[in-house]
A and B are shown apart, each in its own frame.
Chain A
């Protein structure tokens, strides 16, 4: 039995296979609409996350399966002091696979140690969110037809942005990848990613503070939100939150085939006027999240179309 706790739990080949299945699901949804018939997905969400939970539920329903679960800790036995291990041991009796989100880092690993059914980490605090990374890889593959030899710009909060760290860690496995890291000094990429991931793998990267200058070089621009909850000081948040706002003026610097991605939700780091630009793919990215989760559920349950 396999779990998915970290994007690197999947080899490059397995990731590619998942992407191919997800792309086939997108093209031929009817072929997959009963693949998970009589299977049950439990969504154990100890903290609210509308979009990830709904994306998992949509994925299971589109596979013909059914869904049960809870969407916040107060509506589960956790509020009575039950451990994660005990909860998954019980929920595993009611379901065939569990998608779990928990505010504490490592909670999904703890769940996987006791669970009788596959565990999918749907986010464990600021640690890992592998299905977001898979969603990002599918989106890149959809628009670029490859995952290698790309220049990826990431912009915004690179210090606390979990999705950025996971994406970089996953992409360094592909040859010819380069990064342009755009952030204010205070929100630069952590040393652990710079040294242990980028430098260790001899990945070319540059760190800059101005977006416009480097946009022409990018194949992909991955925007992130500056998250209020990461700051202890409201003044710092206010000072930094609007540092990068992508609007149509800035989009003029981008090549015609650059794509703009964002894990969503956005606040105001991408102006609404950009939404209608064909290079803005962030809503398609959210749609891809359903397809890749469908492919993942199939893989972990050993289901075939």
Chain B
């Protein structure tokens, strides 16, 4: 067991699927964060067996839509004075821009690369996102 000190003010991004913490680190641009960031891989989890956790010092703006898009099972705890003061609910955003690229070679975004890459939530039950332009389903991990 590794000990990581508690947070005074900041966020704990918990229940990240094991192995995906670096995807989230990159997606949230945490390399640009000037405060402490702890990345915990393969932590023991009752529900998931293993999970990843990210602790971030400081109350910066977190893109919850982006986190919800990556995995809406993630939980975001807001820490103030070393106590959890809020659990931010994550939902699947109805529309998300420039976080994934359409892989359909017949899509207009393949030839006009300055276009915004926009995906919309097409099926909330199956968690299917489709490209706004060509309607091709976005594959997981894309």
Contacts and interface: CB of A to CB of B under 8 A. Distances in A.
B123 A110 contact: no
Given A106-B108, A106-B131, 13 more contacts: A85-B112, A104-B106, A104-B107, A104-B111, A104-B134, A105-B104, A105-B108, A106-B109, A106-B132, A106-B133, A107-B108, A109-B108, A110-B112
B134 to A, nearest CB: 4
26 contacts: A83-B112, A83-B114, A84-B108, A84-B112, A104-B111, A104-B134, A105-B107, A105-B108, A105-B134, A106-B132, A106-B133, A106-B134, A107-B108, A107-B133, A109-B132, A110-B108, A110-B112, A110-B115, A110-B133, A125-B106, A125-B134, A126-B106, A127-B106, A127-B134, A127-B135, A192-B137
A196 B123 CA distance: 9
A221 B108 CA distance: 33
Q: How large is the interface on B (under 10, 10 to 19, 20 to 34, 35 or more residues)?
A: 10 to 19
Nearest to A78: B111
Interface string B93-109: 00000000000101111
A102 interface: yes
B110 interface: yes
Interface in A56-105: 83-85, 102-105
Interface residues of A, number: 17
A133 to B, nearest CB: 15
B108 to A, nearest CB: 4
Contacts of B135: 105-106, 127
A105 B132 CA distance: 10
A84 B111 CA distance: 10
Q: Which 5 A-B pairs have the closest CB atoms?
A: A106-B133, A105-B134, A104-B108, A106-B108, A106-B134
Nearest to A85: B112
B106 A102 contact: no
B139 to A, nearest CB: 13
A42 to B, nearest CB: 19
Contacts of B136: 105
A105 B112 contact: no
A126 B105 CA distance: 12
B107 A106 contact: yes
Contacts of B110: 104
Contacts of A102: 108
Nearest to A107: B108
B73 to A, nearest CB: 24
A96 B131 CA distance: 29
Interface in A229-266: none
A105 B134 CA distance: 5
A84 to B, nearest CB: 7
Interface string A101-122: 0111111011000000000000
A10 to B, nearest CB: 18
Contacts of B112: 83-85, 110
A180 B117 CA distance: 37
Central interface residue in A104, A125, A196, by most chain B CB within 10 Å: A104
A50 B133 CA distance: 25
Contacts of A84: 108, 112
